[in-house]
A = this chain, B = another copy of it.
């Protein structure tokens, strides 16, 4: 989890991403050009292309970094060793809260994230895979602890599908980032019952 840039390449990439993120937050998305980023760093835009293949790759990297920060608290919960059912509930609620906060608190970054998602950007795929890995870990712990006797091989995927309407950007946004924690808690309870009963 080192955020430190290692090679000079990485350092330059980080500086470019920092500048791009600052611009993105000031002016919204769609209004940040590669030339703007270059200008902010007092370099020619052609030089930016030495560090990122193209504009999409630059913003994909930006979204990847942003989503990585969002994943932090979640991976912590996944790595704990308390009772799995409580962790599953807390993990789901935290994910819901994170997404809501991003939608209402960082709308520019969120819009960029949405856009990257549309363009089949790797960042979003990587994010979803990371989340599913965390969920798999919690479920594996639940089996080890004996609370969930026989989760199927697809259990993590299935649970993720069942709670995804509480974290999917489009749906969260369509609901005006409303707090649906109470409903999510009930859905998790239902799933937990199902897992205890053995799928």
Task: List residues of chain A with CB under 8 Å of any chain B CB.
Answer: 117-118, 152, 154, 157-159, 161-166, 168, 170-171, 174, 180, 183-184, 186-187, 189-199
Contact = CB atoms under 8 A, between A and B. Distances in A.
A190 B195 contact: yes
A49 to B, nearest CB: 29
Given A165-B164, A170-B170, A197 B199 contact: no
Closest 3 CB pairs of A and B: A194-B194, A193-B194, A170-B170
Dominant secondary structure of chain A at its interface with chain B = helix
Contacts of A170: 168, 170-171, 174
Contact of A161 (B166, B174, B198): B166
Contact of A162 (B162, B171, B180, B192): B162
Given A168-B171, A197-B197, A162 B183 contact: no
